[in-house]
Amino acid sequence: MELPVINKASAEAPKGGCSAGSCGSTDDQMSHLPEHIRQKVFNHPCYSEEAHHYFARMHVAVAPACNIQCNYCNRKYDCANESRPGVVSEVLKPVQAVKKVLAVAATIPQMSVLGIAGPGDPLANPERTFETFRMLSEQAPDIKLCVSTNGLSLPEQVEELAKYNIDHVTITINCVDPDVGAQIYPWIFWRNKRIKGREAAEILIEQQQKGLEMLVAKGILVKVNSVMIPGVNDKHLEEVSKIVKAKGAFLHNVMPLISEAEHGTFYGLTGQRGPTNEELQALQDACEGDMNMMRHCRQCRADAVGLLGEDRGAEFTLDKIESMDIDYPEAMKMRAEVHAAINEELESKRLAREAKVQLVSIQGTKTKEGARPVLMAVATKGGGIINEHFGHAGEFLIYEASSSGVRFIGHRKTIPYCEGGDTCGDGESALDKTLRVLVGCEVVLCSKVGYEPWGPLEAAGIQPNGEHAMEPIEDAVTAVYEEMRVAGKLAPNPPEQQKVA
Amino acid sequence: MALEIIESCTSCWACEPLCPSKAIYEAKPHFLIDASKCTECAGDFEDPQCATICPIEGAILNEDGVPLNPPGSLTGITLQKLAA
């Protein structure tokens, strides 16, 4: 699985400067990375906006125990209809987990990565976690292994982690200040005692930072997850980002707090709100100066299976995998072919894009005068093209067009208004919710948009556009931006959007 | 002298490996403590380990039937908030 180095200059100058393919480009996060890191993550769907359309991942829930309490977590909650991080319907024994992984990898050859992420903390369950990793590294050496942790017992596990096929670890770091931490973590279990308050946060932070440093020293890639909690750590996360970047974390993923009251978490029951899409994006932008930011995280379940944004877990329940007969060595051959074909396609796309980046930059210099950036929303089912009906979209990808190019900003979830009922519980119509989700965007690109939402969209200052159906997203965004420039719509002050209730 | 795990236990496995006397065992619908083996960690640890890591308030009782982690003690969620 060799990936040729086609952009040596940017590989050697991973940060700063404007080497081709890394500045204002249409490329995804991976082009910013040094070559040796890119080699490790190019087929990792969670790390690459592009790879996630082609490669699949799965999580196995083998680690139910936890050694800390977070105010956004409720250990009692588990519902089969629910989908959020940490939640899982079926906790597996290591042997069952391995059987499931082999079944999934044989059935979904695009699967490249297996993660253990809880519920609970994988490193608070070292026997179960490492037994699973050990068996997988022997039986399925073509699968990358990942682990997520709160970091409390990370330093003592780094040696063991390095023994298996694990080249990425995710640490959830929500703060570097114990006073902030005391508002997020009510207690930790440390050296056979329950420790509360600021002292608990102090120990946790120290262990997380130590673990991060040890992993980086071992050459294991570290991604940092942070949960953005308005009024608690939102201002503080810029500093977190700076520090973890300085210590060598290669990617930062700022995720929005999920705090619906019905989840029964401390934050849910005390009315702590999550950030708005705009607040999240502003913080991600603020952190980006220091760090590669992750923009396409779907905050998936701890037992998610398949491509990001779809969950095929129901096909692989315990009773179903029991009856599957898997010839893994045979499956491995098929997987290698599928992966090689995907790599070839990604590579040719990359080459085409690099050629185009030059063009966009040249256009950009011409239009720089007075051309302000514009946010556009895109309805897509994946594959990098505009191929989803406005009314069927469960989420929109947000792109920013500016004189320096087109960049992916993130995704925003909504309720497909064609399918949804009249309300989503609080009297808000599904279309109203979509309008609120799209606040800040001036254009929405989709394969088709009906008559009914057209008026409300325009009234909200969002131009519906179905003219670029089936076109590559970046091309369409560039074309629409150019149309706006020619029409004189890129004057420095954006038009006021009407308030959407 | 023995502790007891009651039905609010979510079988999260946190306590089982910590028990110095191997008194805790997996059972349906929830984990149980073998009263003949439980020492409440006397002689091994200052605090009973199961109750010290258990994240569920009220799931572990002492020999008088009193929860070692009463409501509000772990999450800070008061009864009023839970009822609201």
- Catalogue all structural domains in chain A, each as residue range(s) with its CATH number: 35-322 (3.20.20.70), 367-486 (3.30.420.130)
Of the candidates A170, A196, A418, A391, which has an alpha carbon nearest to the alpha carbon of residue A297?
A: A170
User: A398-426 burial, b if ≥16 CB within 10 A, otherwise e?
Assistant: bbbbbbbbbbbbbbbebbbbeebeeeeee
Inter-chain touch A192–B11, beta carbons under 8 Å:
no
Question: Tens digit of pLDDT per residue, chain A (501 long)?
Answer: 444 433 333 333 333 333 322 333 334 455 566 777 777 777 887 777 778 888 888 999 998 899 999 999 887 765 555 566 666 667 899 999 999 999 999 999 999 999 998 788 999 999 999 999 999 999 999 999 999 999 999 999 999 999 887 879 999 999 999 999 999 999 999 999 999 999 999 999 999 999 999 999 998 999 999 999 999 999 999 999 999 999 999 889 999 999 888 888 899 989 999 999 899 999 998 888 756 777 777 777 778 888 877 788 888 888 898 888 889 999 999 999 999 999 888 888 878 777 665 555 545 444 445 678 899 999 988 778 899 999 888 889 989 898 888 888 888 888 777 655 544 444 467 888 888 889 889 999 999 988 888 889 999 999 999 999 999 998 999 999 999 988 888 877 655 555 444
Mutation for B interface: A67, A68, A75, most B CBs within 10 A: A75
CA distances from A93 to A396, B24, B50 (A): 37, 18, 21
Of the candidates A24, A80, A120, A8, which has an alpha carbon nearest to the alpha carbon of residue A362?
A: A24
Q: Are A3 and A347 in contact (CB under 8 A)?
A: yes
Opening angle at CA A193, ends A189 and A194, nearest 5: 55
Domain B1-84: which CATH number of 3.40.50.800, 3.30.70.20, 3.30.70.360, 3.40.190.10 = 3.30.70.20
Query: Tokens in use for B72?
Result: 């509000």
Domain range annotation of chain B: 1-84
Query: Tokens in use for B24?
Result: 């805790």
Shortest Cα distance, chain A CAs vs residue B47, angstroms: 7
Shortest Cα distance, chain B CAs vs residue A262, angstroms: 11
Shortest Cα distance, chain A CAs vs residue B23, angstroms: 17
Mutation for B interface: A194, A266, A267, most B CBs within 10 A: A194
State the CB neighbour count (10 A cutoff) for residue A470: 10
Residue A444's beta-bridge partner residues? A377, A464
Q: Rounded to an integer, what distance in angstroms lies between the CA atom of residue A85 and that of residue A69?
A: 15
Q: Chain B: residue nearest A128 by CA?
A: B13
Which residues of B fall within a CB distance of 8 Å from A266? 75-77
Inter-chain touch A194–B53, beta carbons under 8 Å:
yes
Inter-chain touch A76–B10, beta carbons under 8 Å:
yes
Phi first, then psi, for residue A58 (nearest 5°) are -140, 155
pLDDT at A394: 86
Q: Are A117 and A168 in contact (CB under 8 A)?
A: no
Inter-chain touch B13–A125, beta carbons under 8 Å:
yes
Inter-chain touch B46–A193, beta carbons under 8 Å:
yes
Inter-chain touch B77–A120, beta carbons under 8 Å:
no
Name the B residues in 50-79 with CB < 8 Å from any A CB: 52-53, 55-56, 74-77
This complex has an ipTM of: 0.95
Query: Tokens in use for A172?
Result: 């959830």
* Residue A86 contacts B where some CB pair is shorter than 8 Å: no
Mutation for A interface: B7, B8, B11, B12, most A CBs within 10 A: B12
Query: Tokens in use for A401?
Result: 């067009």
Secondary structure of residue A443 in the 3-state scheme: strand
* Residue A183 contacts B where some CB pair is shorter than 8 Å: no
CA A333 to chain centroid, in Å, comes to: 29
Cis ω on the peptide bond leading into residue A119 (within 30° of 0)?
A: yes
* Residue A77 contacts B where some CB pair is shorter than 8 Å: no
Which residues of A fall within a CB distance of 8 Å from B77? 266, 269-270
Q: Are A174 and A226 in contact (CB under 8 A)?
A: yes
pLDDT at A365: 46
Opening angle at CA A248, ends A242 and A254, nearest 5: 50
Inter-chain touch A187–B74, beta carbons under 8 Å:
yes
Inter-chain touch A192–B12, beta carbons under 8 Å:
no
Q: Chain A: residue nearest B19 by CA?
A: A192
Q: Chain A: residue nearest B17 by CA?
A: A125
Of the candidates A279, A318, A255, which has an alpha carbon nearest to the alpha carbon of residue A84?
A: A255
pLDDT at A331: 94
Secondary structure of residue A35 in the 3-state scheme: helix
Inter-chain touch A192–B56, beta carbons under 8 Å:
no
Query: Tokens in use for B60?
Result: 């572990």
Provide the whole-model pTM: 0.80
Query: Tokens in use for A279?
Result: 């607040």
* Residue A262 contacts B where some CB pair is shorter than 8 Å: no
* Residue A191 contacts B where some CB pair is shorter than 8 Å: no
* Residue A190 contacts B where some CB pair is shorter than 8 Å: no
Compare CB distances from A186 to B47, B49, B74 and report the shortest one's residue. Answer: B74
